[in-house]
Amino acid sequence: MKEPVPPHGNKLAVAALAGSILLASLGISVTTVALPTLAFAFSASVQQVQWVVLAYLVSLTVAIVSAGRMGDLYGNRRVLLSGLLLFTLATIACAVAPSLGWLIAGRVAQGLAAAVLMALPMSLVRVLVAKERMGTVMGLLGTMSAIGTALGPSLGGGLIELMGWRSIFALLLLCALGMMLIAVKGIPREKRAATTTVRMDSAGNLWLCLALLFFAMSATGGKVGMALPIWALLTSAAIALAVFVGVERRAADPLVPLALLGRRTLASSLIMNLIVSAIMMSTLVVGPFYLAYGLGLSELMTGIVMAVGPAAAALAGVPAGQLTDRFGTDRTLLAGLVLATGGLIGLAFLPIRVGTPGYIMALILTTPGFQLFFAANNTAMMAEAPDAQRGMVSGLLGLSRNLGFMTGASLMPLLFASLLGEQGVTLSSTFAIGEAFSFTFLLAAGSFGLAIVAFFVGKKRLTPISISLTYQGVNHD
């Protein structure tokens, strides 16, 4: 398949890609504020209504690699439009849901569609944007993701207050229809090869989805409605992953070429992506506890301070991409890791000495570091990805990001709570909470040291030609 490169500066195409990322991110965040209302509307428990959010996240994580591979095989434009159509239909199902079970099923379908909306824009950037502007557009995609995350709770809260919980899905429906129109007009049609012998790896797809499903369930606390312990879910994930590797070794057209994962450039980028995503999520899930119980802020002030992170991310996204275009991916990526590490060290020490202003200062240092890293890392990987595997590589980057989010959301709060002991956050002194918070983010800064090591291990990047030759059995090491 060969896709045409449109004229330089196709703003409508870029708007379609950025809007797809925004829609998928908004789909995650806009429902979080609706959970109390849904619990009342359906007479359900907190554990039950939380699946309105979890169903979306789990299905997105499970499907994102497959979604990227489908773009490689059947055309990125076609699959992206199909994803927008599925998102639209699923949103209608959510808006008219007569029961909580119906709503959760609709959210599963939305998450599957969101996997397409997350995976394919980065793949399409490679052919729709001039090489010297790839970093800028990657930064724009990061900005849209941050804006979607930041706007969701405020938009959702306002709509629910005025028109009820179904109105948030009306908003998503309007956005999906608008994005579909822009994508149809803005993204050029693909020129497909007359014949192709490559097929979707159904067996590999099944086993990878099962492995990711079991892992995602364990990361959400094992609350799957079957009372399965976390150890059983992790064991099942490991078994499914082992079977997946065996299937891929024998597959003629593997879903994920194992030789690709063996390349240190891709492996290091995926490891760094997972670590940075996990730590970024930890600032969102651990931070509110320290602000509320350590610094004594009200719910309103906690929300305002927490909004600094997404706001800084939104402002830093495009400049981060421009710096990537100007100074190159390696230098920008390393600068992002170093800046974020300094910010995390500041987060460990400044709040306990300066209070809320120190917390805000640390966030303003840390968040641009995250954006520099993501813009440079995504640009480097998509620039190097072979044409036939662009969607799959994009899916792997999305998968590592989502696994990082789940890891950060589960492990870092567990570490923070374990440092407080049996008293927990509500009964601990402000001093103890501050010490636990400080140690948690010192460990987070240390994990960025591992990311920097991974950067130097994979610093010698390969060209697309050398990667393609590797698939044909040529050794370049």
Question: Among all chains, which residue has been given the structure tokens 């299905």?
Answer: 59
> Are residues 142 and 273 part of one domain?
no
> Are residues 392 and 301 part of one domain?
yes
Helix 11-29 and helix 100-128: axis angle, to 10°? 150
Question: Is residue 124 assigned to a domain?
Answer: yes
Domain of residue 353, CATH code: 1.20.1250.20
> Are residues 231 and 276 part of one domain?
no
> Are residues 181 and 60 part of one domain?
yes
Last residue of a domain, one of 162, 189, 216: 189
Question: Is residue 474 assigned to a domain?
Answer: no
The domain of 84 spans: 8-189
- Per residue of the chain (477 residues), what is the pLDDT tens digit? 444 444 444 788 888 888 999 999 888 878 877 877 888 888 887 667 878 887 888 888 888 888 888 888 888 889 999 999 999 999 999 999 999 999 999 999 999 999 999 888 888 887 777 777 777 888 888 778 777 877 777 788 788 888 888 999 999 999 999 999 999 988 887 765 444 566 777 787 788 888 887 887 776 665 544 456 777 888 888 898 898 888 878 877 777 777 776 677 788 888 898 898 888 878 877 887 888 888 888 867 877 787 787 788 878 888 888 888 888 888 999 999 999 999 999 999 999 888 889 999 998 989 888 889 988 888 888 877 776 777 778 788 888 888 887 777 777 877 888 888 877 777 788 888 889 889 999 999 988 888 888 888 877 544 443 334 333 433 333
> Cβ–Cβ contacts within 10 Å for residue 221, how many?
13
The C-alpha atoms of residue 131 and residue 73 are separated, in whole angstroms, by 23
Total-model pTM: 0.77
Q: How far is CA 138 from the centre of its chain?
A: 14
> Are residues 217 and 108 part of one domain?
no
> Are residues 335 and 427 part of one domain?
yes
Q: Angle at the Cα of 231 (from 229 to 236), degrees rounded to 5?
A: 100
> Are residues 263 and 318 part of one domain?
yes
Question: Residue 191 in 3-state DSSP?
Answer: strand
Question: Is residue 477 assigned to a domain?
Answer: no
Q: How many CA atoms lie within 13 A of 416 on its CB side?
A: 27
Question: Is residue 195 assigned to a domain?
Answer: no
Asked if 121 contacts 14 with a C-beta cutoff of 8 angstroms, the reply is: no
Question: Is residue 102 assigned to a domain?
Answer: yes
Question: Is residue 472 assigned to a domain?
Answer: no
Number of domains composing the chain: 3
> Are residues 101 and 225 part of one domain?
no
Question: Is residue 422 assigned to a domain?
Answer: yes
